[in-house]
Amino acid sequence: MKKIILQTISGGYDSTYLLIKNLQEGHDVYPLYVHSSSVSILKQIIEINSVRNLIKKLQLRFNNLNNLSEVELKLDAVRDVISMQPIFWMLGLFNDVKNMHHFLDYDEVQIGYVLGDSAISYQHEIINFWKSLFSFSFPDYTVPKIVFPLTKYQKAEIINNLEDFDREILADCWFCENPKIIKTKKMKDGNIEIYLEPCIECNPCIRIKNIHYNNFNVLKKYKAVINLSDFKNNINETMKTIVKDLKFQNIHYKYFTVNEIDEKTIKKLEHIKETEKPLKRYSYPLKKKPPKR
């Protein structure tokens, strides 16, 4: 039976295989990638490039694959949490379901967790979390069922299936949590090129190395480019916003001081408030240094 499916896609082996499996079974699939500030920016650069290329390749083969949706979440990493991924995926999926409610009803929402993933032990909690998100919604309507179709699949089995389907797609998959910078290069135009490779130390790297060493050994290296002028402009705009909106709560107390205003200045401020004239620069008289003995 054909289904309308909203599926998370991360650019890794599991979600890539799940996407292909759904397409081969004839389901109408809507892929979703979640940008989260709790994830390494370098990892996301590699992932999203991989995902966008994957969608383009598969859309040439399948007419039941819809365009990629991308959601951005400002969510900082939290200590002593087994995995932040289920949290930001739930929020990203919820965002998409709510936005598309008036146009589309999903039969299922799918996440590609496989046998051995830490999140598998928390399926019940994830399902409850998913349902609870909709309890804050108005109006009430049917909550799409969230499912995990790959929980009986081994990672090695998925890698082998991807290799049989398309070796190029397999080679484009990424999993490392903390990409390692192996070289940086400043260009003539002022931009900076960063060359990256897997760290070999994070849990996903160790797991893939143990499961499928040959595939791990031929992993691609990637290049990210930082536009230095855009980066500087972004920093400047951020600082302007902080100062304009007085968002000092995130600035360490060592960076600024607070002094009591004298009566003269208070009168000036009140006068300016009444007349709506701009404040003139006010300078305090310098204190005379005590004479040397």
> Residue 85 maps to which CATH number?
3.40.50.620
Q: Is residue 248 part of a domain?
A: no
Q: Is residue 226 part of a domain?
A: no
Range of the domain at 15: 4-172
* Count of domains for the chain: 1
Query: Per the omega criterion (within 30 degrees of 0), is the bond before 149 cis?
Result: no
Which is higher by pLDDT, 133 or 275?
133
List pLDDT tens digits, range 199-248: 989 988 998 888 877 777 777 888 888 887 777 777 777 777 767 666 55
List pLDDT tens digits, range 69-120: 999 988 887 888 878 888 999 999 998 988 876 567 899 999 999 998 888 8
pLDDT attached to residue 234: 74
Residue 211 CA to residue 143 CA, distance in Å, equals 37
pLDDT attached to residue 212: 79
Mean pLDDT of 239-262: 70
Mean pLDDT of 261-268: 84
Q: Is residue 72 part of a domain?
A: yes
pLDDT attached to residue 101: 66
pLDDT attached to residue 35: 92
Band of the pLDDT at 289, cuts 50, 70, 90? low
Q: Is residue 85 part of a domain?
A: yes
pLDDT attached to residue 162: 94
Q: Is residue 249 part of a domain?
A: no
Residue 15 CA to residue 158 CA, distance in Å, equals 10
Q: Is residue 117 part of a domain?
A: yes
Q: Is residue 52 part of a domain?
A: yes
Mean pLDDT of 27-33: 96
Strand 28-36, strand 69-73: pairing: parallel
Average pLDDT, the chain: 85
Joined tokens for residue 112:
């590609």
Q: Is residue 107 part of a domain?
A: yes
DSSP letter string, the chain: ---EEEEE--SSHHHHHHHHHHHHTT-EEEEEEEEETTS-HHHHHHHHHHHHHHHHHHHHH-SSBPPPEEEEE-----TT-S-SHHHHHHHHHHHHHHHHTTT---SEEE----TT-GGGGGHHHHHHHHHHHHTT-SS--PPPEEE-TTTT--HHHHHHHHHHH-HHHHHH----SSPEEEEEEE-TTS-EEEEEE--S-SHHHHHHHHH-HHHHHTPPPEEEEE-HHHHHHHHHHHHHHHHHHT-GGGS-GGG----PPPHHHHHHHHHHHHHTPPPPP--PPPPPPPPP-
pLDDT at 10 over 90: yes
Best-predicted range by mean pLDDT (15-24, 29-38, 191-200): 15-24
pLDDT attached to residue 248: 57
pLDDT attached to residue 63: 96
